[in-house]
Every structure is written in structure tokens, then in C-alpha cells.
Structure 1
């Protein structure tokens, strides 16, 4: 089947909650994704196959030059097919179109090859405080 990618696509909260839970290894918790994204995001990209949500990335921003990738997730059965790379590429295109100058992403070490090699991010020094 063909996978379609759409910026600021309509989605069902339950579907995104289930995809997020599968991708990040936690139980679905009933998160109200639509309201959260509408409040805090420049936009998001959804990947759909056969009417099902199979990929997602959120593009948060500061209202100016900086955008931030969050929650990049692809359904297990669609991994290693370029879905994540296409989600990130479309997110970058849309952030650029919104006049953002920088797209940031934090990632764990096991995702380095995806973000740096496949998606073209360069590594930078950063800091993190657990709250």
C-alpha cells in the first residue's frame, strides 16, 4: 500500500495515543493530543497507510526562528521503509516555509544514525536537566 504524508493532518486522538504507546513502550493513557498540539505546535506530520495512522512527528516552536522535533514515531510494521526519514523531511520543509531558521532535535544514542546519517542533522553541544 501507499503511504501518504500530510502536514497538520486531521487525526483521531485515540489512534495517535496508541501509536505513541507502541513506539515509546508505555500504555496508552488517553492523552488529548489535538488540544496539546493546537496549543504548542507549529504543526505536525502524519503518515497514513490504508486509512491507518502509521507515523507521526510534532514540530514545536518558539514562535520565531527555532523549531523542535518531538515524538517522531513509526508503527513497527512500517519501520525500515523510510517513513521516519520522510516525516522528518516534510517537517523540515514546513518549518522552513514558516521562516524558522533552525530545526532542533534531541535523541538518545541509539537513534544517532537515524537523525545524523539518514536525516542530515549535525551534532551540537546541548544540555539537559531532569525535572
Structure 2
């Protein structure tokens, strides 16, 4: 698939919110303030657009200011899944995190995504924990 990857490019809040709605099958009229959140909290992010400029993928990376970065919000439009868009996003995000001096890239995911993260992207499993705060 022809796509254009952009590192830290402008993000349209409505477009990214709609992409999340489609990919996670959770239709909503709400628009998340992505641009503000990214500017405030992210180490970097990567967008994928098709040749006509439509947003087809996104990934966010946050960092601790040192050796660790965390991959968040990896999303690909359902019509473009299975074409390497997600893997290309993760590779670009990992390269950018490395360029920022990070040594480790963390990700958590649901079991049904393990083939993508472990097999396609090269992550390995490790012990981790999570606590629900709300």
C-alpha cells in the first residue's frame, strides 16, 4: 500500500477521533482534543495517510525523559489493516524513540493483538502489572 508516514505532523482532532471510532467499533460524536494532548504529553507520534491525504493510521509515543518510551494508541483504519500500515507505524515510532535516546520501548496490548506486536513488530513478553484507577 502506498502511504505517507509523518513524524510529529499536524493532527486533526475530528479525523483522529473518527479513525479511533472506526477501528475500535465505538461510534461516538465526541471529538478528543488530540492535538493538545500530543503537544503536552508526547515524545513523538506518527501518522499514516493514503495518497489522497486521508488519515489511515496513527501511533503515539510517550517518554519518561530517559531510557523508556511507551507506545500508545496504535490504530489503523479497518479498511487498511493487514497491509503493513500498523507495522510501518510501529517501526517509525521505535526509530524516533531511539533517536530521542530511548533504550526501551514498552507496549501493552490485549491478547488478540499478540501476533501483531510479538510476531510482526518484534516485541517480547515480560512481566508487567496494571492497576485500574477509575
Who is 2:54 aligned against? 52
- Could you tell me whether the CA contact under 8 Å between 1:21 and 1:28 is conserved in 2? no
Gaps of 5+ in 2: none
* 2:126 pairs with one of 110, 124, 127: 124
Gaps of 5+ in 1: none
In structure 1, C-alpha distance between the alignment counterparts of 2:88 and 2:45, rounded to whole Å: 13
Who is 1:31 aligned against? 32
Aligned Cα root-mean-square deviation (Å): 1.0
Q: What does residue range 15-30 of structure 1 map to in structure 2 within 5 Å? A: 15-26=15-26, 27-30=28-31
In structure 2, C-alpha distance between the alignment counterparts of 1:90 and 1:72, rounded to whole Å: 12
- Could you tell me whether the CA contact under 8 Å between 1:20 and 1:28 is conserved in 2? no
In structure 2, C-alpha distance between the alignment counterparts of 1:82 and 1:30, rounded to whole Å: 27
CA, structure 1 residues 125+28, in 2 after alignment: closer, same or farther (shift >3 Å)? farther
Q: What does residue range 80-91 of structure 1 map to in structure 2 within 5 Å? A: 80-91=82-93
Hey, which of these two has a bigger chunk of strand by percent? 1
Number of paired residues?
131
The CA deviation at 1:28 is: 4.3
Who is 1:43 aligned against? 44
Who is 1:64 aligned against? 66
23-32 vs 48-57, which moves further: 23-32
The CA deviation at 1:30 is: 1.2
